[in-house]
Structure 1
Amino acid sequence: MVNYWDFLKWLGTDASTSVITLLDDPADLVRLSAVSWSLRRFVIVNKFCKILCSRFCPDTLNFPLVTEVSNTSKIAEVGSSSALEWESLEREHRAYALLCHLIVSLEGKRDCIHRAVCASSTDNYPDESIENTLESSDLVDQRPSYWSSGGQYDPGVSESLTYRLTANLCVVREIKIQPFKAFFQPDHPIYSAKFVRFRMDHSRLRQGTDNCEEQQLASDDYDKWTYVSPEFPMEQENVLQSFKLPHPVICVGGMLQIELMGRVQKQAVDDLYYICVCHVQVMGSPLSPFFEVEIDDASGSLVLKHFPQSKCGTVPVGTAEAKITEMFPGIRLQPD
């Protein structure tokens, strides 16, 4: 390249920013940062990868600290403050480029529930335990499989189901719930809720426990939850109903709670309202082994830990500058 145009000098800073912010694929930002050193610096300093990531998933802005963890030991070198700041910006750029890539490329077709933690109430334990909601069928070993709440005279009483996800950091896109149809009762009633709402929490990261009493928060304690979804109406149908979140949500801490609001069906034998669920799925994508999260003891802030040397057959990643050429073979940085 003897004669070439400098995109930034030709178009100008403001116009270049307007053009770059129109990009909606993190791969395009990685390619752009590989064109020249001036473009690379422009992309990294202006944090375009972080901005794009927050457009797809606003929760990524909840990480004020980003660290990069390497498997190789490296002796720290004394350098200027500007050099150290540039290294920090590069680490953040690499982390958000990969994070954004994972968020947009993984479709979230995997059930991320690791285990059931607790239910706000159970009618007949353990026969009607929350554990039954992990089964894919409402009939197991010729016996009905479902969770049932305790009975209530007031149809407005809510219930909740709490689950532990497969990782401390998961991107959740939708939750699927199937109300239970009591085929062994007259007229086969369906004990659905009127509405559902979802909460995600990271407080147990510091606690290190799944204790039900600590997790079972009052319905009005919304300030204690990292994320509270809008309310979704539930149909009184014995089908796996899908509730898609307004945008992908990062569940920090791996704890998710389903709030079932309002009751529609009485049981004939005791004239009480119940809510019964036979199956639950949390559809999303775990971000490990590429990312983990912890709470900084000094500030109490969340720290996003990036492991660039992690390997996965579906997501090619490398270390430092090699990451660009591994993701996109043939691309080489051009000198300014």
Structure 2
Amino acid sequence: MIIDNFIDQISQFLATIDVCNLLLVCSAWMQVLDVPHVWKYQLSQRDSSRLAFPSAVPMSHLTSSQLRVLLKCMRTLSAPEMSYNVIDQGVYQSSSDDFSQGLDKTLDNRKSTFWSSTGSENQNSSDLLVYRLINGLCIIKRISITPFRAFYQRGMRCYSPMEARVVIRISENDESSTTFSSPWCQITNRDEPFEFPLGEVTVFGEWLRVELRGRWSKQSSDNLYYVCLRNVSAFGVPIAVAPDNMVVQVLYDYISGKGFSSLSFLEFCRKTHYNMEKVTNMIDRGRERVKVIATCDRLIQESNVMLLIPEASQLRDTNEIRDHVVNALNEHGGTEDVMQYLAVMYHFLDVKFTEEESYFLATALIKVDEMIFFHDLVSKFRITFSERLGDIFLTSEKYYEAMVCYCGAVIPDKILSTCALLCSQPDNLTTLDVLIRACDDKPVVVAEMAAILQRKHHPYICCLFIMKAVEQLYIDLAAASDILGVRFASKQDLDELVNSQNLLFTSSATSSLETINFSISF
């Protein structure tokens, strides 16, 4: 008896595979370990290879053999390929600013689309988004939201909530059917995914509620607070894909017993198994993706770049695989391995470099000051533009290349700033004028551009810019006086300042610098 108790207690510190191995040692150990409470304990523990069974679901009525089946199912559902966005559709939004900014925009996985609340004078306003999960009932592994950053607005404000939490329910409007509720989490005002802590429990349900509280940012045009989300994701797996119906049966017994569903078991199975072909295809693609990534990782360890290219490019979601490869190469062998890989890709595949590949390529080209090759890639449409790509050129004072990237990524705020940095000669101010003409808040933009011109170029450039801004009626003389720090009684006073600075400019060494010619297409 003492030995039996000792073995029983030891089993609590063992992984499931070790418990299974002990069962094979002898029939006496099997008699001690192959009992319901041992398997229940194993089911309640979550590790890297297995999800824990939902703690809310009672298992006291299950036999050892049934518990072993559940354990096997939970291990299968934990596999990496058994995870994709299980949100089926958005069903409710507490508010929406515009038809084109509805709840469905959080599911299209595009950087330029988003859901927006209506504006409010109250910074502590609350919002609610409700989503239905695919195939009736899902096990959820992680949930994230991504706030939206308005690249098209001056200042590129991010419209994040101050706090957020997620709630999972079996029934949409029945609060008692809640299977999980996260704590309220502080959200920083940045356009980066925020993943909610799900803890060690296994979350399951049919409805996802995203509750938002507080708003960080005001929109300058109407001085109202808004919250905007670019993406909402819930990664998991429908219970119907479990290799045995035992999971479905146990969860159905729990749900129907609580009164959360009036469906018969047959109707419940039909609901959870709806459109299984689509689900199966997604899982098959996930398995293939895991297999390809494993092969790529092996080839990286072997430094076999020639075989790596076709392997990384064979799937439909090839960009994701290629981004993984280029980051793995950088960790394995540094810049040299990455550049060898990109060189082979350039010569053997007529494809556009991904955002990650474009960034690594630009980093290497900046180090050797090889901008001609970069311009050639741009002309052949083989570069994927991004703000991050423009920033690395800007930091390296490659202003023309930064401008090209910001234009390609359509980031007006940084297009203007970079244009001002390029205006070392009077002729270049024409392009800056064209850009400002398209802005709504012209006085603010003129003041910001003047600050850059004053900091980076000869005083004549800034004075000439201000004179043109006054002539175009972007600002008045009072604003010009404030910007330049000189009192102008009339337009003639401003003209005289410009003429005097022109004399200094033409006689200075800066006049011998080669003019930078550039153009922008809109």
- 1:323-334 correspondence runs (5 A): none
CA contact (8 A) 2:135 2:238 kept: yes
- 1:243-282 correspondence runs (5 A): 243-252=196-205, 254-282=206-234
CA contact (8 A) 1:153 1:272 kept: yes
CA distance in 1: counterparts of 2:82 and 2:241, whole angstroms: 16
In structure 1, the partner of 2:12 is 21
Q: Secondary structure at the match of 1:153?
A: coil
In structure 1, the partner of 2:238 is 286
Distance 1:34 1:62, change over 3 A: farther
Letter in 2 for 1:259: E
Aligned match of 2:3 in 12, 17, 36? 12
Letter in 1 for 2:179: T
Q: Deviations over 1:192-235 (max 9, x none)?
A: 0112211000125xxxxxxxxx47xxxxx6x5522111122212
Distance 1:194 1:131, change over 3 A: same
Letter in 2 for 1:277: L
In structure 2, the partner of 1:130 is 103
Distance 1:241 1:107, change over 3 A: farther
Q: Deviations over 1:163-215 (max 9, x none)?
A: 222344433232222111122222121110112211000125xxxxxxxxx47
Q: Secondary structure at the match of 2:55?
A: helix
CA distance in 1: counterparts of 2:149 and 2:212, whole angstroms: 16
In structure 1, the partner of 2:116 is 148
Q: Secondary structure at the match of 2:40?
A: helix
Larger relative contact order (CA 8 Å, sep ≥ 6):
1
Query: Residue 147 of structure 1: CA displacement?
Result: 0.3
Distance 1:182 1:46, change over 3 A: same
Q: Secondary structure at the match of 1:102?
A: helix
CA distance in 1: counterparts of 2:17 and 2:31, whole angstroms: 17
* Structure with greater proportional helix content: 2
* Structure with greater proportional strand content: 1
CA contact (8 A) 1:53 1:99 kept: no
Letter in 2 for 1:170: C
Distance 1:282 1:257, change over 3 A: same
Q: Deviations over 1:34-64 (max 9, x none)?
A: 4444433433324222212212266623222
In structure 2, the partner of 1:43 is 33
Q: Secondary structure at the match of 2:132?
A: strand
CA distance in 1: counterparts of 2:6 and 2:198, whole angstroms: 34
CA contact (8 A) 2:7 2:32 kept: no
CA contact (8 A) 1:194 1:235 kept: yes
Letter in 2 for 1:250: V
Query: Residue 240 of structure 1: CA displacement?
Result: 2.6
CA contact (8 A) 1:49 1:100 kept: no
RMSD: 3.4
CA distance in 2: counterparts of 1:59 and 1:261, whole angstroms: 31
The runs of 5 or more residues in structure 2 that have no matched partner are 270-279, 288-522
The runs of 5 or more residues in structure 1 that have no matched partner are 1-8, 67-84, 140-144, 205-213, 216-220, 316-336
Query: TM-score when scaled to structure 1?
Result: 0.66
Letter in 2 for 1:90: S
Q: Deviations over 1:61-103 (max 9, x none)?
A: 322269xxxxxxxxxxxxxxxxxx8xx5134322332244235
Pick which of 14-23 and 151-160 moved more: 151-160
Letter in 2 for 1:249: T
CA contact (8 A) 1:180 1:276 kept: yes
- 1:297-316 correspondence runs (5 A): 299-300=257-258
Please say if 1:62 is aligned against 2:30.
Answer: no
CA contact (8 A) 2:143 2:196 kept: yes
In structure 1, the partner of 2:154 is 186
CA contact (8 A) 1:295 1:301 kept: no
Q: Secondary structure at the match of 1:93?
A: helix
Query: Residue 153 of structure 1: CA displacement?
Result: 1.7
- 1:42-191 correspondence runs (5 A): 42-56=32-46, 60-64=54-58, 88-102=62-76, 104-106=78-80, 109-125=83-99, 127-139=100-112, 145-191=113-159
Question: Percent same amino acid among aligned pairs?
Answer: 23
CA contact (8 A) 2:44 2:52 kept: yes
CA distance in 2: counterparts of 1:90 and 1:236, whole angstroms: 50
Distance 1:181 1:299, change over 3 A: closer
Query: TM-score when scaled to structure 2?
Result: 0.44
Distance 1:59 1:119, change over 3 A: farther
Query: Residue 104 of structure 1: CA displacement?
Result: 4.8
Larger Rg: 1 or 2? Answer: 2
Query: Residue 274 of structure 1: CA displacement?
Result: 1.0
CA distance in 1: counterparts of 2:7 and 2:52, whole angstroms: 24
CA distance in 2: counterparts of 1:238 and 1:148, whole angstroms: 14
CA distance in 2: counterparts of 1:299 and 1:172, whole angstroms: 22
CA distance in 2: counterparts of 1:295 and 1:155, whole angstroms: 45
